[in-house]
Amino acid sequence: MEDDLILGLTREVKEEVIQNYLMERRILELQIEDLQERVKAVRDHATQSGLRLTRMGFLMISPEMFERLKALLQMSEQGYWREHLDRSFTRGVRFIRVRAFRERVKFRKLILEAYHRLHLWMNKYRITYEELAAECRAVNMNIEAFHKNYDLLNILSFLRGLDTTALERKQLLGENFTPEEMASVDQKLYIRLVDFNKLDVPTPLTLPREDLIEEGLSALANEIYNKHQNKARWLMQ
């Protein structure tokens, strides 16, 4: 009788531990889901920043000037941002309106303003990227603490030793597991750390400061206007 009481109490304690485990596990799952939603938003921000880079490439008009721009921006030959620079510009960003009495000055202002907006968007993207990285680290710390707080081997041993019906098991485990999943319950219980490098979020592009690149961009704008005056005027219409 006493042994049955001890066994009953032990089982109740273990079931309570598992219920707490599943509750905290669900909280972690929600945190990971929120993180994945943030990943989508950060990717969208990267796309919008990339459109500003695509516009810069479009304003260069000729391949020669395009190469000059790459040199000014100190861009590598490969990568996410280089792909955006190579793309065909199809709008998707606000039209830039500039004013000046002379067309040459107006075109130079257009180039400088386009770079200003690119720089602004990239800085904003860097902030969202760093916030995402910090959130990922926080989630991983929670996952590590979670696994330290629970002995998975004891939980697995208890679950596999149950001789109750599938319905009772489902009531114990909540909606996280079905009877068919019991065979791989160890995989279901373990939560892997989030690998930030596998989230497919591009590292922000490091751009020259506006004051340091203004002279080079102005000279480039003047050269583009000299060689492609008609196309430059068309771009400002």
Number of DSSP helices (H) and strands (E) in the chain, helices first: 9, 0
**What pLDDT sits at residue 216?**
95
174-210 confidence digits (pLDDT tens): 444 555 555 455 556 678 899 999 999 999 999 999 9
- pTM of the entire structure? 0.78
- Residue predicted with more confidence, 11 or 189: 189
Over residues 45-65, mean pLDDT: 92
pLDDT tens readout for residues 26-41: 888 899 999 999 999 9
Residues in the chain: 237
Give pLDDT tens digits for 156-178.
655 555 544 443 444 445 444 55
Query: Angle CA(4)–CA(155)–CA(171) in degrees, nearest 5?
Result: 75
Q: What whole-number distance in Å separates Cα of residue 201 and Cα of residue 135?
A: 14
Mind listing the pLDDT tens digit for each residue in 98-114? 776 788 888 999 999 99
Please state the rounded mean pLDDT for residues 41-48: 95
